[in-house]
Amino acid sequence: MKLLKHGPSPFVRKVVVTLHETGQIGDVEQIDVVASPMAPDPALTSANPVGKIPALIRENAPALYDSRVICRYLDAKAGANLYPEGRIWDTLTLEATADGILEAALLIIYEERFRSPENASMEWIEGQWGKVSRALDALETRWMSHLNGPLDMGQIAVGCALGYLDFRHDVRGWRTGHDALAQWYARFSERESMKATQPTA
């Protein structure tokens, strides 16, 4: 299998952490492609028509894309039970909450990267941060017992989301008012899979 990736993408990190946690890291070749909204790599768009990473190219089977699809596929392939049937809806909702944080956090970066300072909308940026902030509050108030339970995909996604906030939005200080979440993350980031996939510029 070949995993198309680019830079320190948190969505790719979800997949690579899953590969580590399910003992499949050696089964996948990681290939760098350009993932830019304006000029995506043809190698990427031929695997994923919407031009986003991660995409997983399989032998004799169609490519898979979207981190949620890829992670679920890898989990099924390894029989790792990262989507446990008994709490599947909670696990998927938690993963969606983490992905929602990532989408909003990434859109802020794109606004700053792809628009000139005079055209960037502070109101829009703060609207995106509002999504992150509400999701962090929900994690702190509703999800701590799930986060402290057996490893599943919701936890991996939250770990990658918080890692991305540290990496790109450190100045916002997400830990303030989220003590339980911060403590959980300090422990979670000690996992070998998280240490092996730290984002770097």
Ligand X SMILES: N[C@@H](CCC(=O)N[C@@H](CS)C(=O)NCC(=O)O)C(=O)O
| Interface residue list for ligand X (CB under 6 A) | 9, 11, 35, 37, 40, 51-54, 66-68, 99, 106
Alpha helices in 8-147 (DSSP H): 10-21, 42-47, 67-78, 88-114, 122-142, 144-147
Smallest distance, ligand X to C-beta of residue 116, A: 19
Smallest distance, ligand X to C-beta of residue 11, A: 4
**Do the beta carbons of residue 94 and residue 85 sit within 8 Å?**
no
Task: Provide φ and ψ at 62, rounded to 5°.
Answer: -60, 150
Smallest distance, ligand X to C-beta of residue 12, A: 7
**Cα separation, 48 vs 54, whole angstroms:** 9
- Give 98 or 178: the residue with its C-beta nearer to ligand X: 98
Smallest distance, ligand X to C-beta of residue 183, A: 27
Residues 6+ apart with CB under 8 A from 82: 18, 21, 22, 71, 75, 91, 151, 152, 153, 156
- Give 46 or 183: the residue with its C-beta nearer to ligand X: 46
> Could you check whether the bond before residue 150 is cis, i.e. omega within 30 degrees of 0?
no
Smallest distance, ligand X to C-beta of residue 198, A: 16
- Give 128 or 178: the residue with its C-beta nearer to ligand X: 128
CA distance to 20, 36, 69, 70, per residue, from 82 (Å) = 12, 31, 13, 13
- Give 64 or 178: the residue with its C-beta nearer to ligand X: 64
- Give 44 or 181: the residue with its C-beta nearer to ligand X: 44
